[in-house]
C-alpha cells in the first residue's frame, strides 16, 4: 500500500487541487487515513468512534473481514466487464426476493443516478411531467432533486426553489413541493394537479424525520387514486431499517424504489427497482423506441461491488443482526437522553434507532421547517464538542453500525456527557 505521510499538510494540498479544499462531501479540515471496525483514524493520528460510516454504507463497520475476503477473491478474475456477470444476477435475485416492490431492477453506480432515473422512468410510464417532492427531501444531485432540498428562504408551497446555480428555470415548473407529514396538503395538491403528476418521490424517513402514522399509506392511496407512481427513495433506509427496507418496516409498498449504500457493501453500487410493467420501459423490444428509456453505466453492477453486496446481505440475514443494530442505536439514544436531561436544554431525539439525530427544540419535529426552526447554533456546539472528544459524525445524522463494541460505546458515553456539560 502507498505509505501515507504523517508530516504532510494534507489540508493545504487539498486546497490546491480541490475547489473549497475538499471532495464536496464533508468537513475538509479532517482527512481520514484508515478505518477499522467502528473507528477511523485521521492523518494526524487521531482516532474516532465513527457514526458517519461513509455516510451510511458501512453498516457492518469498516473493513469487515468476510466482505474483504469476497472482494479479494474476485479481483484476480476481473473488476468490471460492461456486461452481465453472475454475481450481479445473484445480487439482483436476492434484492428482488427481499424488497416488497422489487420485481425487477437495474444497477447503477450511485444513489443520485438511481433517483434521477426513477423520476425519468415515472414520466416515461405515465406520460406526465410533474413530480411531487417534499421540502428538505434529499434525492441526489439532479436538477429535479436540487429543488427545495435546503432552501434558505421559505416559499409558499408548492413553489420549488433551486438549491444550486446552473439549473434551468423551467425545471422548477415541473416540480411541486409539499411539506412532509402533511396529509391534508398532499390530498389538496393532488386534487388540483393530479392529472399532471407522474410521481411522488419521498424518503420514507426524511433525513431523520419519521413518517407520522398513516402518512406513507396515504401517499400510496392518493397515488393510486390519481394514477401517478409512488417512489420510495431507500438509498439510505434500504437494508438498514430492516432486511426489506423501510417499506417492509412500515408496511407501505411503493411502485418503484431506489437503493444504494448498504447493497454495495462499501463499494459504489445502487439500484432502481420496481414493478415489472414499469421497469419494462428499459426494454425497447417491449415498449418500442418512442417509450424506451435509455440507461447506461460503465461500472453498473460490476462484479467487485456485487460480491461485496452479496456478502453484506448474507451477514445481515444472520440471526440477530438487526436486533443488535437496533440495540446499539437505542443504547446511544439512552445515553444521549441521560446527558441532555441533566443539561436542562430542550431537545428531541428524532429518527429511528438505526438512524437518528438530536434536534435542540421543544417542538415535535414533523418536517424540514421544524428542524430549521430549532437551535442550530446549539446543535453545532454540541457536535463540535463530540468531535473534540473523539466522535466522528455528520452535523445532522448519527449512523450506528454493527461493529460498535462495548469500548466504543463507553467512549461514546464519555463524549456525549462532556458535550452536554459543555452546553451548560
The pLDDT, as a whole number, for residue 4 is 75
- Are 389 and 415 in contact by the 8 Å Cβ rule? The answer is yes
The grid coordinates listed for 352 are 429511528
CA nearest to 265, candidates 317, 321, 314: 314
Is pTM, for the whole model, over 0.75?
yes
The pLDDT, as a whole number, for residue 2 is 60
The pLDDT, as a whole number, for residue 153 is 86
Q: Cα separation of 81 and 91, whole Å? A: 16
The grid coordinates listed for 129 are 411531467
Annotated catalytic sites, by residue? Answer: 138, 233, 261
Instruction: Write the DSSP assignment of 66-90 as a string of letters.
Output: HHHHHHHHHGGG-S--SS--HHHHH
The pLDDT, as a whole number, for residue 47 is 98
Encode pLDDT of 32-64 as tens digits.
999 999 999 999 999 999 999 999 999 999 999
Domain boundaries, the chain: 66-316
The pLDDT, as a whole number, for residue 7 is 73
The grid coordinates listed for 183 are 396529509
Per-residue pLDDT at 3 exceeds 80: no
Instruction: Write the DSSP assignment of 368-405 as a string of letters.
Output: HHHHHTS-HHHHHHHHHHHHHTTEE--SS-B---TT--
The pLDDT, as a whole number, for residue 411 is 98
What's the whole-number average pLDDT of the chain? 97
- Are 264 and 302 in contact by the 8 Å Cβ rule? The answer is no
The pLDDT, as a whole number, for residue 152 is 86
Rounded average pLDDT over 227-234: 98
Q: Cα separation of 239 and 257, whole Å? A: 12
Beta-carbon count within 10 A of 331 CB: 17
Helix axes 321-343, 406-423, angle to 10 degrees: 20
Encode pLDDT of 162-206 as tens digits.
999 999 999 999 999 999 999 999 999 999 999 999 999 999 999
Per-residue pLDDT at 11 exceeds 90: yes
**CATH T-level topology, domain 66-316:** 3.40.640
pLDDT range class, residue 408, cuts 50, 70, 90: very high
- Are 114 and 259 in contact by the 8 Å Cβ rule? The answer is yes
Q: Residue for cell digits 431507500?
A: 234
pLDDT range class, residue 209, cuts 50, 70, 90: very high
Encode pLDDT of 270-289 as tens digits.
999 999 999 999 999 999 99
The pLDDT, as a whole number, for residue 28 is 94
Amino acid at each position: 500500500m502507498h505509505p501515507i505521510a504523517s508530516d504532510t499538510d494534507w489540508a493545504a494540498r487539498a486546497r490546491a487541487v480541490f475547489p473549497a479544499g475538499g471532495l464536496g462531501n464533508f468537513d475538509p479540515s479532517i482527512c481520514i487515513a484508515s478505518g477499522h471496525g467502528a473507528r477511523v483514524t485521521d492523518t494526524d493520528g487521531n482516532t474516532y468512534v465513527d457514526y458517519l460510516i461513509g455516510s451510511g454504507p458501512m453498516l457492518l463497520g469498516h473493513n469487515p473481514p468476510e466482505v474483504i475476503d469476497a472482494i479479494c477473491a474476485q479481483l484476480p478474475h476481473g473488476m468490471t466487464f460492461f456486461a452481465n456477470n453472475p454475481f450481479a444476477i445473484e445480487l439482483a435475485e436476492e434484492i428482488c426476493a427481499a424488497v416488497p416492490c422489487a420485481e425487477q431492477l437495474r444497477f447503477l453506480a450511485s444513489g443520485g443516478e438511481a433517483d434521477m432515473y426513477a423520476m425519468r422512468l415515472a414520466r416515461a410510464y405515465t406520460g406526465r411531467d410533474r413530480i411531487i417532492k417534499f421540502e428538505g427531501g434529499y434525492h441526489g444531485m439532479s436538477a429535479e432533486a436540487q429543488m427545495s432540498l435546503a432552501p434558505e428562504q421559505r416559499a409558499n408551497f408548492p413553489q420549488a426553489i433551486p438549491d444550486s446555480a446552473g439549473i434551468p428555470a423551467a425545471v422548477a415548473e415541473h416540480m411541486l413541493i409539499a411539506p412532509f407529514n402533511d396529509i391534508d396538503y398532499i390530498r389538496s395538491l393532488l386534487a388540483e394537479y393530479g392529472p399532471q403528476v407522474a410521481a411522488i418521490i419521498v424518503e420514507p424517513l426524511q433525513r431523520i424525520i419519521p413518517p407520522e402514522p398513516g402518512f406513507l399509506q396515504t401517499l400510496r392511496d392518493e397515488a393510486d387514486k390519481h394514477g401517478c407512481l409512488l417512489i420510495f427513495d431507500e438509498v439510505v433506509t434500504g437494508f438498514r431499517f430492516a432486511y426489506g427496507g423501510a417499506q417492509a418496516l412500515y408496511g407501505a409498498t411503493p411502485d418503484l424504489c431506489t437503493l444504494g449504500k448498504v447493497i454495495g457493501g462499501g463499494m459504489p453500487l445502487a439500484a432502481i427497482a420496481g414493478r415489472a410493467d414499469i421497469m419494462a420501459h428499459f426494454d425497447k423490444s417491449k415498449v418500442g423506441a418512442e417509450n424506451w428509456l435509455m440507461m447506461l453505466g460503465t461500472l453498473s453492477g460490476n462484479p467487485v461491488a456485487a460480491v461485496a453486496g452479496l456478502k453484506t446481505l448474507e451477514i445481515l440475514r444472520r440471526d440477530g443482526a438487526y436486533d443488535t443494530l437496533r440495540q446499539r442505536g437505542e443504547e446511544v439514544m439512552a445515553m444521549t437522553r441521560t446527558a441532555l436531561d441533566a443539561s436542562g436544554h430542550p431537545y428531541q431525539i428524532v429518527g429511528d434507532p438505526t438512524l437518528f439525530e438530536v434536534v435542540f427544540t421543544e417542538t415535535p419535529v414533523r418536517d424540514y421547517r421544524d428542524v430549521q426552526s430549532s437551535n442550530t447554533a446549539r446543535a453545532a456546539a454540541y457536535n463540535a464538542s463530540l468531535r473534540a472528544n473523539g466522535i466522528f459524525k455528520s452535523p445532522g445524522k448519527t449512523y450506528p453500525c454493527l461493529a460498535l463494541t462495548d469500548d466504543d460505546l463507553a467512549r461514546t458515553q464519555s463524549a456525549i456527557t462532556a458535550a452536554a456539560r459543555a452546553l451548560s
